[in-house]
Amino acid sequence: MLSNIKCTKCGINKPVYKRIYSGEQLCSSCFTLSILKKVKRTISRFKMLEHGDKVAIAVSGGKDSLTLLTILDKLCRKHASQLYAISVDEGIEGYRDEALKYVNQMSNKLNIPNFTISYRELYGFTLDEALRWRKNLNITACALCGVLRRRALDIAAERVKASVIATAHNLDDYIQTFIINLLSGDLERLGWLDPYNEPQSNFTIRRVKPLIELYEQEIALYAYLKDIPFQEMRCPYRDEGIRSKIRNFLNDLEKEHAGIKYIIFKSALNISHQFRVLHKKNSIKRCINCGYPSSSQICSVCQMLELIKRNR
Ligand SMILES: [Zn+2]
Ligand SMILES: [Zn+2]
């Protein structure tokens, strides 16, 4: 029986994937084409890229970011956009060094210039070291690393003179972050999740998330079907914090209610947009210490570095 089923789109090939929330059953080429079309639609829907943009793609070496690199390579070449791969070496022994090999391999293959920046160079320590020192601090590895990595990406993008940073956050990441912010009670942060692009302010670099409407599972399948080599090992610090509990909870829900993650995503988009409009008047300031954009007098990076220094 199963062998007689044909792809919903082309009606010719055998399906390799059932998109449960839409009911479509897609063959390999219709599936990969649908992913490209979706990303293209996301980019134009949220006005993510402009003609002639210099796009710094944040690439970690995992499946999401290497998929983003290959998809933007396909989509952006036509728009005269210049692409760069930027990577952050946090200093996680036996993990990031391995991942960066995949980044080099793919950027060389696609002929995209590749630039790596390290915590050691920027902050004078590796993540491994900072985490050894933090014994007395009540902070998760991801919270510490996230703040420092964001700044590292900004600096890497500045160094290649990019006009925009593209990150590989997917739909799953987006709704997890939305729920984490909701649970933290900091509602202004919900507004920061709004992906609609606004004209660039003169001292913040634009950030875009072209994979934001894709399920993580579909990105994994795309990478598999397109034979994209990536690092499969998870970050050794990944399971700290509330994110993994929320990820499991959402995946369990999706198993019983196909499409519920997409419904949460749509609600989250709507709410984050409302909050952004609401908090628009709180204009961005500059950190009095480092001069980077900040919502408070001292930015979160300077606060974090001070905290780490004190516990060293
Ligand atoms: Zn097909
Ligand atoms: Zn600062």
Residue 159 alpha carbon to ligand 2 centre in Å: 18
Instruction: Report yes or no on 136 lying in a domain.
Output: yes
Among 233, 299, 244, 302, which residue's Cα sits nearest to residue 62? 233
Residue 172 alpha carbon to ligand 2 centre in Å: 30
Instruction: Report yes or no on 138 lying in a domain.
Output: yes
pLDDT of residue 185: 86
Query: Distance between CA atoms of 169 and 167, rounded to whole angstroms?
Result: 6
* CATH for 83: 3.40.50.620
- Both tokens assigned to 171: 């739909």
From the CA of 301, the nearest ligand is 2
Instruction: Report yes or no on 29 lying in a domain.
Output: no
Please identify every residue whose CB atom is under 5 Å from ligand 2, which is an ion.
Answer: 287, 289-290, 299, 302
From the CA of 8, the nearest ligand is 1
From the CA of 26, the nearest ligand is 1
Q: Report the number of distinct structural domains present in the chain.
A: 1
Residue 149 alpha carbon to ligand 2 centre in Å: 14
Residue 7 alpha carbon to ligand 1 centre in Å: 5
pLDDT of residue 281: 62
pLDDT of residue 1: 46
Residue 174 alpha carbon to ligand 1 centre in Å: 29
Instruction: Report yes or no on 24 lying in a domain.
Output: no
Is residue 37 within 8 Å of 31, Cβ to Cβ?
no
Please identify every residue whose CB atom is under 5 Å from ligand 1, which is an ion.
Answer: 7, 9-10, 13, 27, 30
From the CA of 289, the nearest ligand is 2
Residue 228 alpha carbon to ligand 1 centre in Å: 21
* Helix, strand and coil percent figures for the chain, each rounded to 5: 50, 10, 35
- CA 85 and chain centroid, separation: 14
Domain span at residue 107 reads: 43-279
Instruction: Report yes or no on 18 lying in a domain.
Output: no
Instruction: Report yes or no on 14 lying in a domain.
Output: no
pLDDT of residue 190: 84
- Which of the residues in the chain have pLDDT under 70? 1-3, 79-80, 197-203, 239-240, 281-283
Q: What angle do CA 88, 61, 110 make, to 5 degrees?
A: 105
Residue 302 alpha carbon to ligand 2 centre in Å: 4
Instruction: Report yes or no on 291 lying in a domain.
Output: no
Instruction: Report yes or no on 287 lying in a domain.
Output: no
